Amino acid sequence: MWTLRSLCEVSRTGWASRRRWSRAVSPLDDCTGVSPHVSTAQRDHVRLEWRTPYPALERARPVAWTCVCRSVIYELRVGAGQGFIRRTVQLDGGHQVLESRSWLQREAWAVWADLLAGRVR
């Protein structure tokens, strides 16, 4: 006989396996519970300049990204010794993608850490 508790257990397991499946398909899917969420921007945070993607950087691969359950996703992308941050706003009618300037990879990781901490946005 089904109790409320066993029903909850079933839906939780179903959800967990669906999430595993989603992750295998695309990083831009449901909340994985693994990727970090950005902290609220601090009052004196540094504002990055966000611009439309530069084609030459398109082959850079994502090495870190924030949780996709938020409407704005940030990705750290690196390639050819450089790194930059991609900002994707998930909208009903599609995604708006903007990117930061690029830095040396080492500096890009520092900016990424500041972004997660809310010191940069």
Residues near Zn ion (CB under 5 A): 31, 67, 69
Least distance (Å) between residue 70 CB and Zn ion: 7
Least distance (Å) between residue 32 CB and Zn ion: 7
Nearer to Zn ion, 31 or 113 (CB): 31
Nearer to Zn ion, 63 or 69 (CB): 69
The structure tokens listed for 36 are 């970090």
| Side chain identity, residue 49 | E
Question: What are the φ and ψ backbone dihedral angles of 108, each rounded to 5 degrees?
Answer: -60, -40
| Side chain identity, residue 50 | W
End-to-end CA distance of the chain: 52
Nearer to Zn ion, 31 or 46 (CB): 31
